[in-house]
């Protein structure tokens, strides 16, 4: 027995011969899922059961809300989230109070949808934490420049109202062009949000009567426009 630390390439302790199985373990002996797939004939039912087993009701409701693009009733959301309608309505009303969900009363009942401002801020916060934020901005700017050069137009709307007859491929480019412009606006907002957070977190040095400042060299500053 030596006093050397255990190697980082292996476990600290190995099983004894008595602890090892009599027969070698194969891939067929490993159960990757928490739910027994033999209980389901349909793969969708199996996936739903696995999702329900691995998540809470509130997590599933939030996941459904995040993916929604149009308002839905509590009953429809309950079906997708694999919860009771009562549970869905209670959770949705709470999320509405928190500003995450918007509700609207219609002739057929109350509908729920994600709050667009909350969803946008969530996207911006996520993008702001990306290590490749600057690279993404530069990539989108190059993509937009390529569209402008190809169609000799400053934006996709200008191309649409022009006298030019557009085929399907060109209409697809217009759609992608619009998406790229929207993505760039989100990325720029995320960059400014990150800069604002960094400035707000700057701490004044002890004994220094001046406010803490953050300096950035000209070479490091990103030209957003």
Alpha-carbon gap, residue 88 to 79, rounded angstroms: 9
Is pTM beyond 0.85? Reply is no
Cα-based angle 93, 96, 100 (whole degrees, multiple of 5): 135
What's the whole-number average pLDDT of the chain? 80
pLDDT tens, 75-134?
Answer: 999 999 999 999 999 999 999 999 899 999 999 899 999 998 888 898 899 999 999 999
Alpha-carbon gap, residue 78 to 89, rounded angstroms: 8
- Residue pair 62/96 in contact (Cβ under 8 Å)? The answer is no
Long-range contacts of 118-122 (CB under 8 A, 24+ apart): 119/66, 120/186
Alpha-carbon gap, residue 185 to 187, rounded angstroms: 5
- Residue pair 66/113 in contact (Cβ under 8 Å)? The answer is no
């Amino acid at each position: 027995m030596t006093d050397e630390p255990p190697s980082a390439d292996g476990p600290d302790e190995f099983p004894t011969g008595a602890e090892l199985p009599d027969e070698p373990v194969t891939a067929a002996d490993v159960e990757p899922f928490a739910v027994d797939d033999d209980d389901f004939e349909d793969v969708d039912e199996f996936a739903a059961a696995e999702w329900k087993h691995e998540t809470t009701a509130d997590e599933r409701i939030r996941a459904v809300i995040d993916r929604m693009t149009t308002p839905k009733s509590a009953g429809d959301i309950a079906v997708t989230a694999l919860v009771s309608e009562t549970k869905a309505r209670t959770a949705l009303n709470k999320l509405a109070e928190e500003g995450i969900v918007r509700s609207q009363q219609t002739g057929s009942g109350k509908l729920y949808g994600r709050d667009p401002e909350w969803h946008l801020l969530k996207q911006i916060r996520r993008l702001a934490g990306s290590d490749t934020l600057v690279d993404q901005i530069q990539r989108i700017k190059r993509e937009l420049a390529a569209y402008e050069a190809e169609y000799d137009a400053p934006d996709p709307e200008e191309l649409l109202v022009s006298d030019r007859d557009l085929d399907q491929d060109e209409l697809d480019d217009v759609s992608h062009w619009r998406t790229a412009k929207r993505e760039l606006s989100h990325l720029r907002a995320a960059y400014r949000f990150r800069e604002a957070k960094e400035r707000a977190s700057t701490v004044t040095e002890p004994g220094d009567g001046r406010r803490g400042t953050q300096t950035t060299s000209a070479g490091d500053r990103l030209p957003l426009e």
